[in-house]
Amino acid sequence: MVGPMRLMWTRQEHYHRLKRAAVAAAQMTDVDGLADAVSHTMIPEHHMVDELEREYGHDVAAYVEWVRRQLPPDLRDAFHRGRTSSDLVDTALGLALFRATDIINEALDVAVTHTARYAWTWRGTPMLGRTHGRLAERTTLGRRWAVLAHALWNAGIVPYQFGHLSGPVGADTNGEDETLEALGLIAVPSGQCVPRVYLHNWATQLSVVATTAEAIATEIRLGCQEGIDFYAEGRVGGYRGSSSMPIKHNPTRSERICGLARTVRSHVSAVGESCALWNERDISHSSVERTALIPAVILTHYILVELGEIMSSLVTYDGNVVRGTERMTSAEALAAMTGAGVPHALAYREIQQHGPEVATAFRKIAVERDHYEPENEPKLWEWVEGFYRTTIPVS
């Protein structure tokens, strides 16, 4: 974990979110002074709740008892009356994921910015594109990366904002909308907990982000292959690519992104398998969310931080990138031959069997090569230039 994402998942932060949910639940009662008293309770150190948890066998019940014991005696019985653990947990989860969305999108913005700036830097560098791993037609290095940058930008995550304060079987909705709105959350029709399909829809976005980052990392890995040598990951300080082969400069960070993206997808799949609960409530989803959802959030953020750092220092061997662009491509050869009157089927067959070189004699008759220029796609490059000139800090 890095930066603010590390701090989010401490037990102290969890108790802080539970307290916000508990205050909100107290505000929905008609007991004078209860919400104010709950708001003045101390957030416990985890060891303070551990003994109660061992006694109750229930972590939220232990927290509720901890708070209850801090309240004035005349308010203790009123606290949490008519509420369930889902009121606290689902609301606290909504607060956590709303903040997590911001943190992930901040890292995504940095990664997109670096990728778009890279595209802008190399926008005029010609290269031969590839399909199916084979050389194809003319493009530029910048265009390839502009496409990838735009795909990553499009994967931005919509915040999760759902909470629950409507008690057992979800029927006590009086005041729920207003109370959750004050927390920045939204009430949705629910049973005893928020329907898990809302959570799965949000978590699926993590898969999309991780998979898009994997596509970019794969592009780097392919370009780092021996004999292609378009890129190398920048290194800070010492580096050993192999314990026995000193010359190795492996794209290990990009490889790590690819592996972690698979892990994110597996975690999100588990969350998706936990949507069908029994009637109003069961806890079959709870263990999955604790062990799969939170790691998926953490790993998605880590992937984006890694990707941003890779793109900020990616080494490019442009001499290798432009290699082969002086030759006529198969599409240009076909245009040359058909432009000279050769039937399309015959020209296609000749080029397929003998390569584009068979069209050399027709080159003068062919129209000028249609070199790719950024000006041919103004919308794409206006978007890239916007990110290139962004004020987002990317240090």
Q: Any idea which residues carry the catalytic annotation?
A: 132, 242
Separation between Cα atoms, residue 189 and residue 342, nearest integer Å: 68
Q: Please, what is the end-to-end C-alpha distance for the chain in angstroms?
A: 19
Cβ 62 vs Cβ 53: under 8 Å? yes
Q: How far is CA 161 from CA 176, 265, 323, in A?
A: 14, 22, 51
Distance CA(188)–CA(201), nearest Å, equals: 14
CA distance 148 to 143: 9
How does DSSP assign 256-298, residue by residue?
A: HHHHHHHHHHHHHHHHHTT---STT--SHHHHHIIIIIHHHHH
Q: Scanning the structure block, which residue is given the tokens 């000749």?
A: 350
**Side chain identity, residue 280:** E
Which stretch of DSSP H or E encloses residue 20? Answer: helix 11-27
Q: How far apart are CA 323 and CA 63, in angstroms?
A: 65
- In whole angstroms, give the CA distance from residue 121 to residue 202: 34
Residue with tokens 């999108």, as numbered in its chain: 105
